[in-house]
């Protein structure tokens, strides 16, 4: 069930496109602001992510089919399908 929710989240993010933005709440209203935080782009290999951003603070084992792996960095989280980035999320 957990992997199904993660997969649904990743599919939703993929449909949303590659826009870089942060969600901000101002006076109870949700607004989206562009993000200037550098992070991996879709399609980047695990090896290239480690070469550019260093080792992640935490690595989670792959779950589901296709296997989805999560790496946590101080400012963002990266999700991989097999060994390629499918999405990266800036921490709030």
**pLDDT tens by residue, 64-82:** 999 999 999 999 999 999 9
pTM score: 0.65
As a whole-number percent, the residues of the chain with pLDDT over 90 amount to: 55
Rounded Cα distance, 85 and 29, in Å: 31
**pLDDT tens by residue, 21-64:** 556 666 777 766 667 889 999 999 999 999 999 999 999 999 99
Rounded Cα distance, 2 and 28, in Å: 29
- Return the sign of the alpha-carbon dihedral for residues 7, 71, 66, 15: positive
Torsion angle of the four alpha carbons 69, 52, 87, 90, in this order, in degrees rounded to the nearest 10: 110
DSSP state of 37: -
**What are the helix (H) ranges across the chain?**
2-16, 46-53
């Amino acid at each position: 069930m957990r992997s199904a929710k993660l997969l649904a989240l990743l599919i939703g993010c993929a449909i949303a496109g590659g826009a870089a933005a942060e969600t901000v709440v101002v006076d109870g209203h949700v607004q989206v602001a562009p993000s200037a935080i550098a992070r991996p782009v879709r399609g980047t290999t695990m090896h290239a992510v480690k070469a550019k951003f260093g080792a992640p603070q935490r690595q989670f084992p792959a779950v589901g089919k296709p296997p989805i792996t999560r790496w946590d960095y101080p400012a963002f989280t990266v999700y991989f399908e097999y060994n390629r980035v499918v999405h990266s999320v800036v921490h709030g």
